[in-house]
Structure 1
Amino acid sequence: MAELLKVDNLSAGYGEAVVLQGVSFALDEGATLALLGRNGTGKTTLLNTLAGATRQHAGSISLAGNALHKLPSHQRAAAGIGWVPQERNIFKSLTVHENLTAVARPGKWTPDGVYAMFPRLAERKTNLGTQLSGGEQQMLAVGRALVLNPRLLLLDEPLEGLAPIIVDELLKAIRRITRDEGLSAIIVEQHPQAILAISDRAVVLDRGTVVHSGTARELRDDPALVDRLLGVAR
């Protein structure tokens, strides 16, 4: 597979505060990366930096060979970054359908395709964002990123705080998006086994640096290593 994303010696943070230091990794086209680490280790900052929402101090980011780190966030979206932040950031004063059509770009993912994947949203397409449950808002945030027809999807703790039935629905959807549809993705998640099961690669951060990089299978098959790196058991 061809290389899609390359991050080289990246340092970034907020204002003068440096959170990430010397971060380097790569991701192939069509692959999924589990981005893991304890709370406060820089995972969200890394996704925010890829999306253009932090201050970058050093290093480079390239997407399909194009320099991404020189672009503002809206141009990164146009270049192929689809971002679902922890806050979801849906337009709460717009309907479900308006949220999707307002940002849609030409491509395989359409609002109708999102409705087919998330029937709950189809049933609520005229509801305002404020009228959705937390799980439905998360589905909408994922759908809104998809209709941008990105080359790389960034998901920041997509399962956090959701009911188990919604977690199952979202995991199935993410598996379909990445495995069946072949969309590259980077997923931050506090429950490593759920995401490692649908990922190809894994990167573990600690104190803003990469302390482990390898296949997802390596971590899936070695709970002692997961425990040592993350301080959690299977």
Structure 2
Amino acid sequence: MPDLLTVEGVSAGYGKAVAIQGIDFSLRAGGAMALLGRNGVGKTTLINTLVGVTTFKGGRIVLDGRDITKLSPERRAAAGIGWVPQERNIFVSLTVEENLTAIARRGPWDVARVYKMFPRLHERRKNMGNQLSGGEQQMLAVGRALMLNPKIILLDEPLEGLAPVIVDELLAALRRIVTEEHLTAIIVEQKARKILPFTDQALILQRGTITHRADSAALLADDAVLESHLGV
């Protein structure tokens, strides 16, 4: 399948500071990438740069054949980028269902389909965002991104701080989104062994640059690289 996302020589940061530099990769339509690295190496900055909320220093970002480098975050979302940030950013004063419908775009993902993916959200559909557990808020953040009917979904440490039972539920949903729904995805995660089994390729960042790239299956089997680059 053709590449959906192409990133060429991208450098970015915050203000005058450069946090990532010379980033090059491509991701085919329907593919999934694990974005790995220790804390503070630039993973979130790279995701934020794709979304358009950093200070861009150079390079080029092409989504589905369209150069989106100079587009605002809102126009990038309209172009097909779905985002699940670390902070989740759900609307705490709206119900679950209102969160899902407030920014929905027409397409195959609708409320019923999100509820099928996350039955807990259906059970809590009349609850306000601030009445949900951390895990339920994360499910809502993913569901809300799906309601945008994106071409690609970017997930920034979706398993962070969640109880083991919720981690298992969310992992099962992410696996379905990637392997059954074939939604193109980039997943940032500290728990590399959790997401490598259902992604296609992996990038490891160190000090703002890509230091290792491999097929996910090959990296999962390479204990030496996992230990040296990630300490796992």
Q: Whole-Å Cα distance in 1 between the matches of residues 163 and 231 of structure 2? A: 24
- Which residue matches 2:18? 18
Instruction: Output the aligned Cα RMSD.
Output: 0.6
Give, in angstroms, the shift of residue 105 of structure 1: 0.6
Determine the structure 2 residue equivalent to 1:90. 90
Give CA-to-partner distance per residue, 1:138-159, whole Å, 9 cap, x none.
Answer: 0000000001000100000000
CA distance in 1, matches of 2:131, 2:231: 38
Aligned match of 2:101: 101
Give the Å deviation of 1:129.
0.4
In the TM superposition, what are the counterparts of 1:13-52 in structure 2 within 5 Å? 13-52=13-52
Paired residue for 2:75?
75
**1:111 matched residue in structure 2:** 111
Amino acid at match of 2:226: V
Question: In structure 1, what is the equivalent of residue 64 of structure 2?
Answer: 64
**One-letter identity of the residue aligned with 1:183:** L
Distance 1:104 1:46 in 2: 25
Matched to 1:138, the amino acid is Q
Deviations along 1:149-203, one digit per CA (max 9) or x if unpaired, are 0010000000000001100000000000010000000000000000101100000
Structure 2's unaligned 5+ residue stretches are none
**What does 1:169-184 correspond to in 2, within 5 Å?**
169-184=169-184
SS in 1 for 2:173: helix
Give the alignment's TM-score, normalised by structure 1: 0.98
Equivalence for 1:196 = 196
Structure 1 stretches of at least 4 aligned residues deviating more than 4 Å after TM superposition: none
What amino acid does structure 2 have at the position aligned with 1:153?
I
Taking every aligned residue pair, what percent have the same amino acid on both sides?
61
Give the Cα–Cα distance (whole angstroms) in 1 for the partners of residues 24 and 100 of structure 2: 34
2:198 counterpart SS class: coil
Report SS of the residue matched to 1:159.
Answer: coil
SS at match of 2:127: coil
After TM superposition, give the deviation of residue 3 of structure 1 in Å.
0.4
| Deviation for aligned residue 1:9 | 0.5
Q: How many residues align?
A: 232
Matched residue SS, 2:60: strand
Cα offset for 1:231?
Answer: 2.0
For 1:229 and 1:38, how far apart are their aligned partners in 2?
8
TM-score normalised over the length of structure 2: 0.99
Q: Which amino acid aligns with 2:169?
A: E
- 1:155 aligned partner: 155
Structure 1 Cα separation of the partners of residues 19 and 220 of structure 2: 28
- Residue 7 of structure 1 corresponds to 7
Q: CA deviation at 1:121?
A: 0.5
Within 5 Å, which residues of 2 pair with 1:129-168?
A: 129-168=129-168
Runs of 5+ unmatched residues, structure 1: none
Cα distance, 1:225 vs structure 2: 1.2
